[in-house]
Amino acid sequence: SQELRISSPKDEGPIDYTAGLYYFWQGQKTNQYSEYSNDPAGLIAFGPLLPGKTQLVKARLRTHSYAAFAQANWHIQDDLTLTVGVRNTLEQKTLALYRDLGHTTAPGSLVPNLDSTGVSPKNNNVSWTAALAWQVEPDINLYTSYAHGAKAGATNNAPPPSIPLARAPLV
């Protein structure tokens, strides 16, 4: 991740501010290997899977996130401050999945033994805040604030073996 910001000097006027840009990148690789037992109870839990078979899921996830933000404090009086801020975040995740069920699925199943897919959801979220603070006494501060925040979506890189790989269960 990397952040670049600019801030005004404190105590040099009625307004101070901070603004900046943020970038985040993450790469993740997972390999999940499962081996199913011969226990009949396990067969019931995993539906169409047959005993003694295996499953291999390879997932590759990349995340790119960009944000621009700004916040300002207006010192209306020595004891009264209004704060406003905004942040716009654009995030894109790219997930590639490959699954080899090792001939684990039952005959006639809709789940293929070899399956792969990819999804690339993109989220653009605007978060903001507004607050008014009154310093009644040196040890007493009354304030009210209102804010809206957002979180980017997630991806599922470990889908259940009983469903075909498709966009719906992954985002």
Residue 130 clears pLDDT 60, i.e. is over it: yes
Residue 118 clears pLDDT 60, i.e. is over it: yes
50: confidence class by pLDDT, cuts 50, 70, 90 = low
Higher-confidence residue: 71 or 120? Answer: 71
Sign of CA dihedral 95, 101, 102, 103: negative
Q: What is the distance between the alpha carbons of residues 85 and 88, in angstroms, rounded to a whole number?
A: 11
pTM of the model: 0.75
Mean pLDDT across 119-129: 92
**pLDDT of res. 152:** 82
Residue with tokens 């009086």: 77
- CB count within 10 Å of CB 40 equals 8
Most confident of 20-24, 112-116, 151-155: 20-24
